[in-house]
Amino acid sequence: MRGASWLFVVLSAVLCGSAEETSRVDDEKNVTVPGLLTKYGYPVETYEVTTEDGYVLTMFRIPYGKKSPLTEGERRPAVLLQHGLMNSADDWLIIGPDRALGYILADAGYDVWLGNIRGNWYSQKHQDYSPKKDKFWKFSWHEHGIYDMPAQIDHVLNATGHKQIFYIGHSMGTTMFYVGMSLKHDYNEKIRAMFSLAPIAFMNHMKSPLFRILAPLTSVVQFVAAEVVRLRPYTIIVRSRMASSKSLTDDEMERIVNDPPFLQSDEETTADEDEFILSDDDSTSEATSESSCEESDEEACHFRQYNYGILKNFKRYGKATPPDYNLANVTAPVYLFYGPNDWLAGPTDIDRLHNQLGNSKEKNKIEFPKFNHLDFIYGRDAYDFVYKPVLDLMNSYEKGTI
């Protein structure tokens, strides 16, 4: 056994759960975005979008809602929803109608587009090589920002005929936006407004114990990741009662919420009326994970491109360290929403992001002390604290009052 194998064992145990948990969700893997929308009586369209570097991404569209039928000739304002790390378009639907943002926006009269980044279970195709090959997984959030995001924005614009769209991102869905907009300046003009839920850029004031432990061990994590090219972490998936007849006990729920690295204790999310299951649907690359760990280095916190090591950095960037992303180039209107109990997006780091963005309009702290990183997607009060304020802002843009 190689020297770093112990770390891989620890990471596997924390990220992947048990065989018993795997068997519990075997019958749930067919619950997809089209399946959920159809089940609840919403229209759905599926598209494949090819990026400049050959990745084939799957996008879903909800052209109208049950509460807002489409009239003939009507062209609705478009909004692109972008999920976070190790997740998928499922995030915006799985807590069900009247609660999940995808349904809410469609019912409010918006043309809703659900994006998927390369590597997640909806987007494991490439024009030239298979996801079974290591080369497929050689990407980081940099590629999400400069390839995946622009391709999806352009597709929505071409399909709808709009010149601008709204963009809503969660976690890494915000990170890739900052990356793309900082490097592809012309795309700022294609965004009416961007809403950042649990924004991630600077991370040197995060409270997550696991990430703080791993931060000094970046080289070890890189070594392990080189052997395990594709990480398939188990993520919490919340599904409505119509999606499953099985629920976890309170003790199981508490263990799940307190163990994974992207969650923390004192969660606002509850299992009162929902079913919580574990799924290994979504994958990520080792480069994305390494970038996340690297950005948590408190001694030299940067929001910058991927660190390939000194020699490769000189070859790629012309200097020993990667270049920072210039956030002043992000000139699209940005609205920040963050939770006081978010272990990844700390208030000091949010302040720094707010001050460096080229056009940060508002910095909104959720007025609930237990609101955490995943409550933006799964929280029972997400509508009151997040979705309604976002919808009010979008409606203000539509009315021309902003």
How confident is the prediction for the chain on average, in pLDDT? 77
pLDDT of residue 229 exceeding 80, the answer is no
The active-site residue, picked from 171, 182, 196, 285, is: 171
4-18, 62-76, 79-93, 359-373, range with the lowest pLDDT: 4-18
Say which CATH topology domain 45-232+284-399 has. Rossmann fold (3.40.50)
Instruction: Average the pLDDT over 361-386 and give the result.
Output: 93
Is 171 one of the annotated active-site residues of the chain? yes
* Two tokens, residue 110: 């918006």
Question: Which one, of 112, 99, 81, 102, lies nearest residue 384 by Cα?
Answer: 99
31-35, 230-234, 275-279, 309-313, range with the lowest pLDDT: 275-279
What proportion of the chain, given as a percentage, has pLDDT over 90?
A: 53
Contact assessment for residue 176 and residue 141, using Cβ atoms and an 8 Å cutoff: yes
Phi, psi dihedrals of residue 303, rounded to the nearest 5°? -105, 95
- Domain coordinates of the chain in residue numbers? 45-232+284-399
pLDDT at residue 305, as a whole number: 86
Q: Could you tell me the pLDDT band of residue 202, with boundaries at 50, 70 and 90?
A: confident
pLDDT at residue 194, as a whole number: 98
Beta pairing partners, 79:
112, 166
pLDDT of residue 376 exceeding 90, the answer is yes
pLDDT digits (tens, 9 = 90+) for 334-358: 999 999 998 788 888 899 999 999 9
DSSP class of 336 = E
Contact assessment for residue 55 and residue 126, using Cβ atoms and an 8 Å cutoff: yes
Residue bearing the bigger pLDDT, 170 or 262: 170
pLDDT digits (tens, 9 = 90+) for 245-289: 333 344 443 343 334 433 333 444 433 333 333 333 455 554 554
Phi, psi dihedrals of residue 49, rounded to the nearest 5°? -120, 130
How much is the pTM? 0.79
pLDDT at residue 26, as a whole number: 37
Is 289 one of the annotated active-site residues of the chain? no
